[in-house]
Structure 1
Amino acid sequence: SCSRAKDVTMPAKLPVNFFSTRSPVIDLFRGQLDYADHLRQDSEIALYFFYAPWCGQSIAAREEIEHVASRLSDQVLFVAINCWWNQGKCRKQKHFFYFPVIHLYHRSFGPIEYKGPMSAVYIEKFVRRVMTPLLYISSRSKLLDFLSNYEPGVLGYFEFNASPQPPGYLTFFTSALHSLKKDYLGTIRFGVITDKHVAEEISLVHSGSVYLHRHVNTSLIYPNDIMNYTAENICKWALENREMLIRWLRPHGGKSLLLNNELKKGPALLIFVPYNPLAEIQPLLDEITKVALEYHNCNKSQASEPDLQHLRDSDSPAFDSSVPDTRMKLAETFSITKYPCCNTVVLPQWHSISRTHNVCELCINQTLGVKPNTVNVPHCNFFEIEAALDSFYLQEHTFFQIVSNTIECSNFLSFYSPFSYYTACCRTVNRHFLSFIGSEKTIFQTPKVAFSSHGKKDKSDIQNSIPHIEDRNCFIPDLHISGTNITGLSCRTNKTLNLYLLDSNLFWIYAERLGASRSTHLKEFAAIVDLKEEVHYVLDQNQSLVGPTLENFIKNFSILYSPLKRYLVDDASVHLRAQRVITEVTTSTFHDIVLSSEKNVLLLYYGQWCGFCASVNHVFIQLAWLLPPDNFTVARIDITRNDLPWEFMTDRLPTILFFPYQR
């Protein structure tokens, strides 16, 4: 080229301090990552705040980090690192896709990334959990306080008399830090029992034993004989077997898929409460926790939990057809409530056994290769029930009858495998049982039913037996649970709710979208969202959010014909003007303007985010000027802010519907 012009590259400006020089946060604005690691060697707990000086979220989080540092700077090292400066080591060694990023280190363990809200109280709560990952329990009262918490808890028993660090203690300590690394919300609490007598309260005898507490399901002890005693395995075992009665939701933003993934699991009760993570006493949260425990407590009481565990651990009885006493014991004890691995089957009319019986309880027999001579009721696997049902229906000719005076059992060959057998015990249930369906006692308890043997063919028994599923003339009364208490309600209805908590201080915008009042000062709100039915219900905001109110709200949703009315979101900010070319429609005015109008109505469905709607809008305005106002009403509705009955909704925008007069 003949040009004398040269390429000129303007060097980047040198970075400046992001934090004040008087701040307790050490600001490495040139990205000196190696110097940060040098400072961390002298501190037990260190927090790294990686930022980009141009990032708005980093600027917003700066004040929150300074607030936490002002409270914990004497115990925690706070270091801020500019990871955007292109000549700094942080930019060369770290490859972050977003800012800010918070990493915590506990001595040599780390990094533990914090992914929660960028709020001072939440960050401080997480830092304190890293500082003290274990709670030390030395008395029975502290143990009860630990177990009464709604969050799942893992307890380890270690004897500190012989050594300040007994075998397995460091592994358990590291597992608590691993749980924070994988579960940044910190929903699992870890504790250490230091007293032998306190450990015996939860059946921990040997030092190094680990116990996972669960409120409703059976609590577990870490299986040392199956899994290696490592920090990763303990953390994985606790996360896989934890019991989540009520969950905290912290969506990342307006486009977060977290709510969508949770709502797909089934009907959800969303409870918005103001939450302070640092407060030691949460009265409202404790009351909500009691409701959740009662709702999921299908065993009626916590006292029955050891008995149920004993039933699960006890050996299943073997019944011999040649012993009459054993056969009588089978009729008295064989029940789906005692053997939850069995499945109750109503026989179809074409099945050969249906001539004498109409109900069978199907279990899996774990004998292999040889047809068993006795009928066992073993601890079977739920995943094989479907295969057992197919074999039960398809291979009825392989039945091997064992007849008793009260109940009739059979062993039959598996349809899928020639080396395994299943067990079926059949009986006849009288029609008199139907008269008790309306009462709560017989619905949720095993009734005393009459059994018929194989040899009896009494016509009265056949007429009084429950008809088969295929019989269209059969009428079974509806299941009404109104008037009952909430204990175990999740197991007594097909409309089981998933319970979620949201902090109204952070996510009140979601509550307003569901129907919460924008003018209220008390940010407490509850709503039930059923994504499958495309409806949601709102708890009356004139009622205080307390335990009895929540219980009634849940019970009214759970009954078959719910008295709750679907809530339709209405944009109350729209004010209609007298002279306007296009009429703005809301949920409350839809019936009067569109359905009850004495004119032809042309309605445009639009959304503020819809680009195509904006391009169609000027055409729609010109059309409104051309149509005679005496015969036509041109209107539009923002479908993102107003709910309509499902028959008038649309799944694409923009959409134009014409509602003719006298249609």
Structure 2
Amino acid sequence: MVKGLDWFRNKWMLLKEIMARNPELLSLFFALVLSGIVSHLDNPKGSKATPYVIPIPPKIFDHESPVIEFTTGDMTAVRNVIASTGAEVWIIMYYAHWDAYSLETAKEFERTAEKMSDQVLFMAVNCWYPYGACRHKVTVPYFPILFTHRDSREGIQYTGLQRATEMVDHLKRVCSPLKVVQDLESLRLLRAQHDAVALAYFSFEGTLAPQGLASYQWAAMQHLEKDPVQPTPFAIITNKQLARTLGLTNSMSITLLRNFNVSLYYPSSREFKAKPIVEFVTTHRESMVQWIALLV
């Protein structure tokens, strides 16, 4: 009996905590209970019950907002908008209209859109709506969750602070994932701003899309997901003479320039794919904070 009471007490405390974090859930719960009671009263015993249909959720963005909203989670409509606009970069906020965090993030998301909508397509999808495709096709472990896409590739999750300032910085990096180094002076300035710089040489002779460039750019994107606060910049060199000065003799050569340690070269024996490149940069980069920690 005591164990049963303890179990009930623990479950009740957990429920209270969930309701405290999302007070809208309480309203939703009572609304569903009330609708069930009304449905029962309207359909007395012995009569054919009418199933309750959840109404289309309300919008959480204004009609004049630069954010395109899909309240029913229609992913086909989302793809159609992307195709019709020809967007190169887009960001999607998956939300639940009753969730307090979603409503708060929506304000910051809209502020971000007001600053970046000329470069980025902003969309918001209600992924809670039970009858929508999003609910059944997109994995959303919690609300809200944001994904950024570029060049029709799979998205990266935005893992930074959900504030306009940080989201603007993130989207600027997504719009220009690679820095172009023209000379030693521009490289010096880049290194002065960061503790480490990933630098690759690509030969554009006879082609506008050299082998390995797409993988390197995708690595830069994936790195933004791992470190949204202080990501290591990914830069490229196209000048052969400058590349040789830095020890990059072949196209698809990468070096990790570190201000607090010797520079490292990406092993030629490793596959030139995004995942191992990200692992190389993430594992071997060093920051001033790390060195201070070692000295303390």
For the superposition of Structure 1 and Structure 2, which TM-score range results when normalised by the shorter chain?
A: 0.7 to 0.9
1:21 pairs, out of 30, 49, 63, with 63
Q: Could you list the per-position Cα deviations for residues 611-651 of structure 1 after superposition, in whole angstroms to 9, with x for gaps in the alignment?
A: xxxxxxxxxxxxxxxxxxxxxxxxxxxxxxxxxxxxxxxxx
Contact 1:151 / 1:187 at 8 angstroms: preserved in 2? no
Contact 1:160 / 1:194 at 8 angstroms: preserved in 2? yes
Q: Could you list the per-position Cα deviations for residues 26-66 of structure 1 after superposition, in whole angstroms to 9, with x for gaps in the alignment?
A: 01111111211222232111111111111111111111111
Code of the residue aligned with 2:270 in structure 1: it is M
Code of the residue aligned with 1:196 in structure 2: it is K
The 1:216/1:168 distance shift into structure 2, 3 A limit, reads same
Q: Secondary structure at the match of 1:110?
A: coil
CA displacement at 1:185 relative to structure 2: 3.6
Q: How many pairs align?
A: 251
Contact 2:71 / 2:126 at 8 angstroms: preserved in 1? yes
Provide structure 1 residue ranges, at least 5 long, that are not aligned to the other structure.
248-291, 297-489, 491-495, 498-663
**Matched residue, 2:227:** 183
**Matched residue, 2:287:** 244
Q: Secondary structure at the match of 1:235?
A: helix
Contact 1:51 / 1:81 at 8 angstroms: preserved in 2? yes
Q: Could you list the per-position Cα deviations for residues 519-549 of structure 1 after superposition, in whole angstroms to 9, with x for gaps in the alignment?
A: xxxxxxxxxxxxxxxxxxxxxxxxxxxxxxx
Pairwise CA RMSD: 2.2
1:170 aligns with 2:219: no
CA displacement at 1:206 relative to structure 2: 2.0
The 1:165/1:186 distance shift into structure 2, 3 A limit, reads farther
Code of the residue aligned with 2:274 in structure 1: it is A
Q: Secondary structure at the match of 2:69?
A: strand
Contact 1:48 / 1:79 at 8 angstroms: preserved in 2? yes
Q: Could you list the per-position Cα deviations for residues 276-324 of structure 1 after superposition, in whole angstroms to 9, with x for gaps in the alignment?
A: xxxxxxxxxxxxxxxx6xx58xxxxxxxxxxxxxxxxxxxxxxxxxxxx
Contact 2:199 / 2:234 at 8 angstroms: preserved in 1? yes
1:37 aligns with 2:37: no
The 1:235/1:21 distance shift into structure 2, 3 A limit, reads same
CA displacement at 1:4 relative to structure 2: 4.0
**Matched residue, 1:147:** 191
Code of the residue aligned with 2:94 in structure 1: it is F
Tell me, in whole angstroms, the C-alpha distance in 1 between the residues paired with 2:274 and 2:54: 46
Code of the residue aligned with 1:52 in structure 2: it is A
**Matched residue, 1:233:** 276
Contact 2:99 / 2:143 at 8 angstroms: preserved in 1? yes
Contact 1:52 / 1:83 at 8 angstroms: preserved in 2? yes
Code of the residue aligned with 1:37 in structure 2: it is R
Contact 1:211 / 1:221 at 8 angstroms: preserved in 2? yes
The percentage of counterpart residues that share the same residue type is 28
Q: Could you list the per-position Cα deviations for residues 403-449 of structure 1 after superposition, in whole angstroms to 9, with x for gaps in the alignment?
A: xxxxxxxxxxxxxxxxxxxxxxxxxxxxxxxxxxxxxxxxxxxxxxx
Tell me, in whole angstroms, the C-alpha distance in 1 between the residues paired with 2:82 and 2:65: 18
The 1:33/1:151 distance shift into structure 2, 3 A limit, reads farther
Q: Could you list the per-position Cα deviations for residues 60-92 of structure 1 after superposition, in whole angstroms to 9, with x for gaps in the alignment?
A: 111111111111112111111011111111112
1:67 aligns with 2:128: no
Tell me, in whole angstroms, the C-alpha distance in 1 between the residues paired with 2:141 and 2:251: 45
Tell me, in whole angstroms, the C-alpha distance in 1 between the residues paired with 2:91 and 2:57: 22
Q: Could you list the per-position Cα deviations for residues 461-510 of structure 1 after superposition, in whole angstroms to 9, with x for gaps in the alignment?
A: xxxxxxxxxxxxxxxxxxxxxxxxxxxxx5xxxxx43xxxxxxxxxxxxx
Tell me, in whole angstroms, the C-alpha distance in 1 between the residues paired with 2:172 and 2:180: 15
**Matched residue, 1:57:** 101
Tell me, in whole angstroms, the C-alpha distance in 2 between the residues paired with 1:92 and 1:126: 28
Contact 2:59 / 2:97 at 8 angstroms: preserved in 1? no
Report matched runs for 1:187-336 at 5 Å: 187-224=231-268, 226-246=269-289
TM-score normalised by structure 1 residue count = 0.36
Tell me, in whole angstroms, the C-alpha distance in 2 between the residues paired with 1:106 and 1:215: 30
Code of the residue aligned with 1:239 in structure 2: it is T
Code of the residue aligned with 1:172 in structure 2: it is Y
The 1:3/1:17 distance shift into structure 2, 3 A limit, reads closer
**Matched residue, 1:97:** 141
Code of the residue aligned with 2:231 in structure 1: it is T
**Matched residue, 1:112:** 156
The 1:95/1:203 distance shift into structure 2, 3 A limit, reads closer
CA displacement at 1:169 relative to structure 2: 2.0
Code of the residue aligned with 1:131 in structure 2: it is C
The 1:39/1:186 distance shift into structure 2, 3 A limit, reads farther
CA displacement at 1:18 relative to structure 2: 1.6
Contact 1:179 / 1:186 at 8 angstroms: preserved in 2? no
Contact 1:152 / 1:187 at 8 angstroms: preserved in 2? no
CA displacement at 1:131 relative to structure 2: 1.1
Tell me, in whole angstroms, the C-alpha distance in 1 between the residues paired with 2:115 and 2:97: 24
CA displacement at 1:177 relative to structure 2: 1.7
CA displacement at 1:244 relative to structure 2: 2.8
Code of the residue aligned with 1:230 in structure 2: it is K
Provide structure 2 residue ranges, at least 5 long, that are not aligned to the other structure.
1-43
CA displacement at 1:7 relative to structure 2: 5.0
Contact 1:211 / 1:219 at 8 angstroms: preserved in 2? yes
Code of the residue aligned with 1:78 in structure 2: it is F
Report matched runs for 1:541-620 at 5 Å: none
Q: Secondary structure at the match of 2:94?
A: strand
The 1:143/1:8 distance shift into structure 2, 3 A limit, reads same
Q: Secondary structure at the match of 1:160?
A: coil
CA displacement at 1:138 relative to structure 2: 0.3
